[in-house]
Structure 1
């Protein structure tokens, strides 16, 4: 006998903000807290979003284009819209996690970024048919990193994203959410009061027959040993000496020798770093501050984008990651020099709200907003966006490292 879902509601939502509201209602407080957390006082995470509101658009009253193209080419791949899935760690907000996100990316014709701290394996994610870029932190020794690259390549990853900007301050003014190292009986008993008040979330996991997975299967040793927990992976990162620019070039060379596919450096906020990334041979870079989870006080990425795009945008694909919640945000980023944007929290809220369909919903919301802005600006193609289409107030931009 099929059991009806007693919490079924209209699954469609009209904005990322509504997706966030539904995620908050559905998720246990520690899980939702992990999604909204930023470092220290949260200045950077707030500025990532607030900066977009400072930018205006310059629409036309007539002469609009009846047909508009929202697709573009980025990192050697055609995508149906200039919005890519940014890699995020353990996605225990939904039983299918990264697999559901990858299916949504494939269904909507865009690139899936998969974290090496993910809760689902690179093999499972690539099997969805999504064009997958595997993301790696600088963790472990060089032999271990090469093994992980080789595994991603064998699985069918089409590119590598290196994230090196994670300083991860633990000092949060509102406190850090409690996250268990693993989910076992003792953990279930301890967290029962917080989970019991979120029955819809518990119902989804009960249907799947699985508990939230807090391990990192992509970091499992090649000899078949057990995958580390998220905190085990975090310990490996903390005990690995940070990389030099020579290490970045080495990482790029190792990946290029394996496959020749794109190598992307994520976390660039300075012009001088962007130029050194180009010297290291990257195919693309993401202007990113780790969504405000890195060094608090770093300006919003959209403030840093114009100077970086002007310096290296003709040599590599420049992406933007941070604070994107609306299609108009995407349009502003493209006008100021980005080839595409990467989203993180936005799709995680969609995943929490309604699984794969929720992620597709978020991408559709962004697509609709992009199309509306392109229409209003009198353009026929997102690739026609230029700085003159955006009203940039005096003193808005930050040219760091010039």
Structure 2
């Protein structure tokens, strides 16, 4: 199917359309990486260094993509990664949840999301709630209990963040709230992107920059920067803290941000169900290798003891297959679906998921594999110097 007004054939096309539609500050917030963007770039480029070893006959007539992650059966090995306050589309995470549900997969909802967890679970019962270590243990437990009551199927604790906010090319300015002063300042950006502005206007106003999932019962939802300030003042978590939270949550439990085999082993020790090999999309410590480079060593260290996911740089179905062949159970996507939503709302998210599903199927066919569970490292051609992380 050729690209049309309502359909795009690649994630790259979704990104081009997103850039044309979004105000500059909103778009830059989606593509930004810390400092020089070395890790951000490597997340994507590393996949191009990996080759395939295809077959040409006796290929499978059908290919199976279904798998199980964090206790949930999903139709293909792609999960929505949690992302923070979204100013991409008025329906935000609820639209993403509906698209994921239609595709038969799960959504990770950020604690910094713009929509309440109750609304997102209503749109997609396969919701995983993501938390940072923000506030006291009592407040953290309060949020976990709210997620449990809402129907979240798993808890994801993200640890790969060191408040690295510097961008060598300049960070996009984000107002604390869209008051009159902020609207005047950002008006020129909105005027030159009228479709984005009109979309929000039809839904009752400008983006809400509050974080409803971080509000205690009876409290007003804090602004993004209010919540961020509390986070910065919270003592950094220890593995004992993470173990404590795992003990409070009796369902599937994931630790996101693993790049070192030692940390993967610690996640196993505290009883985690899954880990996500991730460098926070290139928004943490710049110079960290791509997630896919770290994946083999992590899988070798703990892969038979815990579910291993990969987050970072996925742009094609073939990228998903490469990650699975290296030992991942599934992948998580962030920027890709946000570009899809910017390009065409909920339908754009569905479009991105279909692109990835089709690409996985095509790669399985070329490799002669009838299932994602049949993929092995021998299906790949990996350069000797590809991994740039500790091996023990």
TM range (shorter): over 0.9
**What is the deviation of 1:387?**
0.2
1:120 CA drift (Å): 0.1
- 1:297 aligned residue (274, 287, 298): 287
Note if contact 1:216-1:227 (Cα within 8 Å) is conserved in structure 2.
yes
Alpha-carbon distance in structure 2 between the residues aligned to 1:147 and 1:169: 27
Q: 2-side partners of 1:356 and 1:156: how far apart?
A: 22
Q: 1:291 touches 1:323 (CA, 8 Å); kept in 2?
A: yes
From 299, 320, 335, the equivalent of 2:325 is: 335
* Structure 2 Cα separation of the partners of residues 151 and 359 of structure 1: 27
Output aligned runs, 1:49-198, within 5 Å.
49-198=44-193
Q: TM-score normalized by structure 1? A: 0.95
Q: Counterparts of 1:337 and 1:186 in 2: how far apart (Å)? A: 50
Deviation track 1:119-174 (CA, whole Å, cap 9, x = no partner) reads 00000100113400000000000000010001000000000000011113222110
Structure-1 residue corresponding to 2:227:
233
* 325-334 or 207-216, which deviates more: 207-216
Paired residues of 2:159 and 2:257 also in contact (CA < 8 A): yes
Q: Shift of the alpha carbon at 1:269?
A: 0.2
Paired with 1:156 and 1:210, the residues of 2 have a C-alpha distance of: 29
Distance 1:294 1:43 in 2: 11
- Secondary structure, aligned partner of 2:123: coil
Aligned ranges 1:256-275 → 2 under 5 Å: 256=250, 261-275=251-265
Q: Following superposition, which runs of at least 4 residues in structure 1 exceed 6 angstroms of deviation?
A: none
Give the Cα separation in 1 of the matches to 2:169 and 2:344. Answer: 28
Cα distance in 2, alignment partners of residues 78 and 185 from structure 1: 47
Conserved? CA contact 1:305–1:320, under 8 Å: yes
Alpha-carbon separation, structure 1, partners of 2:287 and 2:94: 34
Residue 129 to residue 172, structure 1, CA distance change in 2 (3 Å): closer
Question: Which secondary structure state, in structure 1, belongs to the residue aligned with residue 156 of structure 2?
Answer: strand
Match of 2:278 in 1: 288
Write the distance in 2 (CA, Å) between the matches of 1:170 and 1:316. 32
* Deviation (angstroms), 1:400: 2.4
User: Structure 1: which 5+ residue stretches go unaligned?
Assistant: 1-8
- Matching of residues 37-56 of structure 1 within 5 Å: 37-56=32-51
Larger CA deviation: 370-379 vs 160-169 = 160-169
Kindly state the Cα deviation for residue 210 of structure 1 after the two structures are TM-superposed: 2.4
Q: How many angstroms does 1:253 deviate by?
A: 0.6
2:369 aligned with 1:375: no
Query: Could you tell me how far apart the structure 1 residues matched to 2:117 and 2:391 are?
Result: 36
The residue that corresponds to 1:5 in the other structure is none
Aligned to 1:315: 305
CA contact under 8 A between 2:211 and 2:221: conserved in structure 1?
Answer: yes
Alpha-carbon displacement from aligned partner over 1:259-279 (angstroms, at most 9, x marks no partner) = xx1000000000011001100
**Equivalent residues in 2 for 1:354-393, closer than 5 Å:** 354-393=344-383
CA positional deviation for 1:93: 0.5
**1:111·1:132 contact (CA, 8 Å) conserved in 2?**
yes
Q: Distance in 1 between matches of 2:93 and 2:78?
A: 17
Structure 2 counterpart SS, 1:189: helix
1:14 corresponds to: 9
Contact 1:68/1:381 (<8 A) preserved: yes
SS in 1 for 2:249: helix
Alpha-carbon distance in 2 for matches of 1:14, 1:328:
14
